[in-house]
Structure 1
């Protein structure tokens, strides 16, 4: 028998008792027991005088979509979990939210959803409009079905450095899953940690979106934070002022810092705006996206100061602080770099020392890989004296 058949064969009271006995918790950001979530939703439903419903989705702040693999691989299990929740809540309304960037998945799961009478929509969950509904994380829905298949085991879903999604026991340490040898930072969910915190368990780390990345000295925390905030801005619905304006300002400041226009007051402003967003926004988009910036400036303030005061990216990642030049003593005038340059910003001809036009160069580094002579150098330091006109190989002299 299916999970749903097993559940509806019991009374609602028996279903609730089985869920309670399993210890199943909501997988989203509010880690309360699922039975408590049912109680609170139904109470709110009565207070708001609304019809009960069940709404399943990822966290609104989840821009990675890593946990969608559970829906992608086992859609029926998720649908059955939603249906069991609806049975408990006495709800006819069943809605599954899929991020807008997953149009293909939307079409893939529609047949399974229709089979269970579930409406599939794209976009974020409107928390205000969903008052009185039981809000379920997609993982919770799948785990609820497992409870009634008697296969449920508590665990945390993790994708390490972009690898395959795996389920780890709650007691598993981060250091057991990832190589911490060259770690500068741990990106776990929406938070950053220091390498020595790799002894935390995956449950303690709150990897709410399944993302676990180990950043080395070659990766820039400021740059990674800017990318995450850019993704959050793109996904945000923009309806809440604190979230819309807060994300705009947080992202703007990180971007200015990576491009060499940062100011010291940006650090305190990031803390002030980020802290306000965590308590003043109604959904996880504002509450959690801001934490990425907050944890970054709290733990890696020196890296921020290096960008702002020294105009230097310690990781050598931020292109505004990086220079690429052709070493005139090593250049053989082969032309390979000019041929591969996507911006056509390398000047030269056979047997002449080539030169890079800094104005057009976007510092992609493709020329470095193409140069067998090792003549093209990436540096965050000073650039030596270079030719200012075409000069034959071996004829350039520094004055």
Structure 2
């Protein structure tokens, strides 16, 4: 007998009682008992005068999608769990959302057969939280756990993928240090944010709040700034852009990461990241805005020294950002013609007619245009030690090494 068939032999109150007795909690970011969430959905639908139902999906902010493996491997279990939740709500309105980046999953034959069997509508894209008022929003793992509960196989465990490896289910009390080696680690991404190795060592998978299944170790060769920019860019690509705080916040946070990685960061970026990130966390209706900013917030809060190195010293501790080459003007060869100044779009060359020109290495993006127009061949590029250069404007032929 299937789980749904067993459920339909019980009253809705009996089903809720069993869910409550098992202590099943919503797997997503909202820390709420599933029984309470289902009851709240019914109450909200009455208050708002809207039809209730079940909306199942990953968190909107989940750009990794590692938990989709559960849907791919056991589609019928997830769909049956959705149907059980709908039975409790006395509704036939059931929708399963699949992210746009996983459209091939939505086309899977086994999933579509299960959707037809349980009369669940499949859609791609993000969940519109506002439009879903009155409905029970469930994480797809919660739906799978609901089916397990009435197959008498439910265990309160957590799915994790360690450093991109196969998804596994582990006890809630499993320590992060038992899953990954923290030796030589710079940072550990747990869920949607970074932790220091010392912090990670003390955490279990439950206390870390890993709701997207991601455990990833960053080594010394990994740049926090560059990695954070990648995470934010992925969120921008997925965001619907309808909410101002989320849309504009992601634009600003991504821009500041890119500028910092390019050697154009500013000290005020750290405070701005804090301000924008916190505003997104509290002022957006769905997980895209609420959690996509956490990666940037945790980066600047816990690895501020790496940002300071990029901004103040123009140095990337991991050796990932910035060119290893430097462009300079040879004071012995420069004839003070000024051609290089005319082509520098960043205005980072200082000089005047008859004086040895100087390049501001902080602003220089090493485009090489100045080298192309210098007929004297005075502008050089090197990855080694720079020769002695003037620190103030000096007439051509007057510079002497000291």
TM-score tier (shorter): 0.7 to 0.9
Contact 1:188 1:207 in 2 (8 A): yes
After TM superposition, the structure 1 = structure 2 runs for residues 278-289 of structure 1, keeping only pairs within 5 Å, are 278-289=281-292
Aligned to 1:347: none
Q: Select which of 116, 139, 147 maps to 1:137.
A: 139
Aligned to 1:175: 177
CA apart distance, 1:322: 3.3
* In 2, Cα distance between equivalents of 1:7 and 1:204: 32
Q: Which runs of 5+ in 2 are unaligned?
A: 327-365, 369-381, 388-402
Aligned to 1:39: 39
Aligned to 1:102: 102
Q: Select which of 267, 277, 302 maps to 1:264.
A: 267
Aligned to 2:194: 192
Aligned to 1:383: 384
CA apart distance, 1:321: 4.0
Q: Secondary structure at the match of 2:107?
A: helix
Contact 1:260 1:321 in 2 (8 A): no
* In 1, Cα distance between equivalents of 2:144 and 2:324: 47
CA apart distance, 1:359: 5.3
* In 2, Cα distance between equivalents of 1:175 and 1:199: 8
Contact 2:324 2:383 in 1 (8 A): no
* In 2, Cα distance between equivalents of 1:297 and 1:3: 47
* In 2, Cα distance between equivalents of 1:111 and 1:259: 49
How many aligned positions are there?
333
Q: Deviations over 1:29-58 (max 9, x none)?
A: 012110010111111100110111100000
Q: Select which of 111, 114, 131 maps to 2:113.
A: 111
Aligned to 1:310: 313
After TM superposition, the structure 1 = structure 2 runs for residues 335-374 of structure 1, keeping only pairs within 5 Å, are none
Aligned to 2:167: 165
Larger Rg: 2
Aligned to 1:76: 76
Does residue 260 of structure 2 align to residue 248 of structure 1? no
Contact 2:53 2:92 in 1 (8 A): yes
* In 1, Cα distance between equivalents of 2:41 and 2:31: 15
TM-score between the two structures when normalised by the length of structure 1: 0.81
Q: Which runs of 5+ in 1 are unaligned?
A: 325-357, 361-380, 387-399
Aligned to 2:51: 51
Contact 1:311 1:321 in 2 (8 A): no
Q: Deviations over 1:267-296 (max 9, x none)?
A: 100000001110000000000001111011
Aligned to 1:275: 278
Contact 1:66 1:210 in 2 (8 A): yes
* In 2, Cα distance between equivalents of 1:270 and 1:31: 26
Aligned to 1:374: none
TM-score between the two structures when normalised by the length of structure 2: 0.81
Cα distance change on mapping 1:174 and 1:6 into 2, 3 Å: same
CA apart distance, 1:156: 1.1
Let me know the Cα RMSD of the aligned residues. Answer: 1.7
Does residue 157 of structure 2 align to residue 155 of structure 1? yes
* In 1, Cα distance between equivalents of 2:367 and 2:269: 28
Contact 1:312 1:321 in 2 (8 A): no
